[in-house]
Amino acid sequence: MRFTKTLLFLSILILSLSSSNVSAQGYKIKTIVIDAGHGGFRSGAAGSFSLEKNVALQVALKLGKKFEEELPNIKIIQTRKTDVDVDWYRRAEIANDAKADLFISIHCNSMPDKRVLTGYKTVKGKKVAQYKYVKNSTTSGTETFVGAYRRINEMDAGLRENEEILQDKDYKKKGTYDPTDPEELIMLSLYRSLYRTKSLSLAKMIQKNYTDVNKRVNRGVKEQGLLILQRAAMPSVLTEIGFISNPREEEYINSAAGQEEIVTAIVDAVKQYKKEIEN
């Protein structure tokens, strides 16, 4: 049975790779899934006056509206439209079930408090360093992630966007893979072949618009083991629109003007991606 199933996966891989070579002819982007990060009791990062879950939702809804206005032939699906918690695996499942052509996840970045030396205290004749934690409020910029399509169990457990997932005691049952299973390795190879290049292409276009047009600090495009991206069976990106821990950026990502710039940067990137992929 194992051998038969493995052959089946190999057949799917070969057929998928063959079809990808000709997919540009007649291919059209028909469905985009927009994912507002966090939600409900999972608030995400906190700024001085706002929460990541709320900013992400505002931007996601505006992004969807702009897509509908400027690309009316594309179906737009939101993973959430209100302040509700949606399981991480369900977000990717929504995109997979819809056979989406793109998955775009919206998040805000944040830096942890940093420890600074405040002086020394003499304890039993010895100098002992004294520290305090202060807000790290200077880091700024945007970065866009694509999934690292290596073995999914080798995820970057320390990444902030994975932290809430790892708090779920059943997360392994909901979507991680068995790295010893040849079928899973085949599927990872399939993802790498079909989606990595396209995901990187879109991510680079988004970052270019953030930095060249909006004049934001460019923190680059990065490949990381983000579980939500690794579960999405289509080109997918997670974009960090700014640091909510930075007071100036928090003001920007909460402002109408800032959100309009962010949304326009993403929409224009998708238009460019669409033009290149549909030729």
**How would you write the pLDDT of the chain (279 residues) with one tens digit per residue?**
444 444 444 444 544 544 444 444 567 899 999 999 999 999 999 999 999 999 999 999 999 999 999 999 999 999 999 999 998 889 999 999 999 999 999 999 998 776 777 777 888 888 877 777 767 788 999 999 998 755 444 444 334 444 554 455 554 555 554 445 566 556 556 655 678 899 999 999 999 999 999 999 999 999 987 878 878 889 999 999 999 999 999 999 999 999 999 999 999 999 999 999 996
Residue 54 domain-assigned?
Answer: yes
Residue 158 domain-assigned?
Answer: yes
Residue 248 domain-assigned?
Answer: yes
Residue 22 domain-assigned?
Answer: no
Angle separating helix axes 197-208 and 256-277, nearest 10 degrees: 140
CATH number, position 72: 3.40.630.40
* Tokens at 85, concatenated: 């918690």
Q: Which domain holds residue 198?
A: 28-111+137-277
Task: Judge whether 88 and 165 are in contact, CB under 8 Å.
Answer: yes
Of residues 96, 102, 103, 97, the one with CA closest to residue 37:
103
Residue 214 domain-assigned?
Answer: yes
Residue 17 domain-assigned?
Answer: no
CA-to-CA distance for 12 and 190, rounded, in angstroms? 9
Structurally, how many domains does the chain consist of?
Answer: 1
CA-to-CA distance for 122 and 68, rounded, in angstroms? 66
Residue 126 domain-assigned?
Answer: no
Residue 157 domain-assigned?
Answer: yes
* pTM of the model as a whole: 0.79
Task: Judge whether 116 and 132 are in contact, CB under 8 Å.
Answer: yes
